Amino acid sequence: MSARPSDPRDQAPAIPPGWTAAPPDYVGVGTARSGTSWWDALIQAHPRVSRLPGTPKEVHFFDDRWAGSPDIDDTAYHRYFARPKGQLSGEWTPGYMLDVWTPPLLREVAPDARLLVLLRDPVERFRSGRTLAENRFTVGSTARAAANAAFNRGLYADQLLRLWAAFPREQVLVLQYERCVDQTAKQLQRTYEFIGLDPEIPSSVDLSRRVNESRGPKVSLSPWQEGQLIQRYAPENERLATLVPDLELERWKLPR
């Protein structure tokens, strides 16, 4: 397993005249296959939010920085969030919440960022995952390793607790994908307000537009596999519900 070929610091896009680098106002940190591209696009659609041309939705800045902080340079990360005066900027890398080394590093370079977590029924998240492709960096790349890695991504409670160890809880907004689908306007207003925008949704934002929706084949689950996932996730979801009281667990698949 080798590190990613090039250092992300070399990839920070050029900053146009009149734009200035600054820490991100928001960072989405979780979780993969849960509608984060859609939600990020709705944030980006707000006229007060800018993204530097060349900065991707997922910066993956910390992926290879597990060895520690000596090379963490604030300005290297901040360059991705250059924006015109008065605008907000941010990114959403769904693996940040999972990787054990990332929350403390993120706190070092963006201590005031508002963090966003979008959670989805872990059974549906598993089904939606391109499990082998998504986990192609997993040791061995076997079907067994991929299934385990995909399953572990759905253990949300501990990931959230690790995040909360690095950031105050009030700096983290936990959204539920199923409610975002059902009550898009209401949940988007919450999101706007949380990251420091006027909660009113501008008329230019198209709430019906979907991004990155069910592209590529889903993982087909046999009834036995689906039953296994429901059973195995049940106690973990119950722990999550005690941590996030407004989570509507009944929207997720539960054991009969």
Partner 1 sequence: MTARAAVRSRVRRLAVRGSRAWYRLRGPRPPGPPEPPRVPDGWTVGPPHYVGVGAQKAGTSWWNRLIGAHPGVVGGGSGPKELHFFDRAWETPLADDDVGRYHRYFPVPPGKVAGEWTPGYLIDFWTPELIARAAPEARILILLRDPVERFRSGLTHQLATSRAPLGPRDIQGAFQRGLYAPQLRRVLAAFPAQQVWVGQYEACRADPLGQVARTYAFLGLPPHELDPWTASGEVNPTTRDKYQPPAALRAALLDGYAPDLAQLPELCPSLDLSLWPTARALGLG
Binding site for partner 1 (CB under 8 A): 1-3, 63-64, 66-70, 98-101, 103-105, 135, 137-140, 142-145, 147-149, 151-152, 155, 157-158, 161-162, 165-166, 222, 224-225, 228, 231-232, 235-236
Provide the edge-to-edge strand list for the sheet that holds 26-30. Answer: 90-92, 26-30, 114-119, 172-176
| Residues facing 115 on adjacent strands | 27, 172
Between 90 and 103, CB nearer to partner 1: 103
Least Å from the CB of residue 132 to partner 1: 11
Least Å from the CB of residue 175 to partner 1: 21
CA 80, CA 88: separation in Å to the nearest integer? 12
Least Å from the CB of residue 168 to partner 1: 15
Between 152 and 183, CB nearer to partner 1: 152
Between 13 and 104, CB nearer to partner 1: 104
Q: Find tokens 């759905």 and name the residue.
A: 154
Least Å from the CB of residue 255 to partner 1: 11
Least Å from the CB of residue 162 to partner 1: 5
**Cβ 118 vs Cβ 54: under 8 Å:** no
**Cβ 174 vs Cβ 245: under 8 Å:** no
Between 48 and 158, CB nearer to partner 1: 158
Q: Find tokens 């690790």 and name the residue.
A: 162
**Cβ 23 vs Cβ 112: under 8 Å:** yes
